[in-house]
Amino acid sequence: MASEGRTSLRIAKDKVDVRMEIPGAVIRQRTDFGDASGFKTISCEYFTLSAGVDTTPLFQGLEADLCQCPHWGFVLSGELTTTDANGAHETVNANDLFYWPPGHNVKVDADAEIVMFSPQREHSHVIEHMIEKAKPG
């Protein structure tokens, strides 16, 4: 669960409020799920990740050696754990919604596929940084 005073980063499907249920449809909604103010265009990313992937070395050189971009997403399969600047860990699993605020690293605990929505300018900067870090030599 979330630390005292911190918004939960992970919400299991059965914890998202059912707002409407009719034959053939269930609509769930979680309000106040991260703050997107100040961001303009967003991008959508689809990540396929193998167990053991760790972003720590890829984020070295970014502010505080962490991804400073917020992400909203859904775990299609697998398991991932984020670590924030204070060392707090949170794990997300298949069928979880998540919000990762700025200031995190990610480790893949089990092969995973996720869909994320991110501020385009900020996340493009992080992706370009990772591409440069991954280049040989």
pLDDT digits (tens, 9 = 90+) for 57-67: 999 999 999 99
What superfamily in CATH does domain 10-134 come from?
Jelly Rolls (2.60.120.10)
Q: Report the amino acid identity of residue 129.
A: H
Distance of CA 81 to the CA centre of its chain: 9
Per-residue model confidence as pLDDT tens digits over 70-109: 999 999 999 999 999 999 999 999 999 999 999 999 999 9
Name the nearest CA neighbour of 64 among 90, 84, 44, 34.
Answer: 84
d(CA 79, CA 21): 29
Give yes or no for a contact between 20 and 91, defined as CB atoms under 8 angstroms apart: no
Per-residue model confidence as pLDDT tens digits over 41-54: 889 899 999 999 99
Could you tell me the pTM of the whole model? 0.83
Per domain, the residue ranges of the chain are 10-134
| pLDDT for 1 | 37
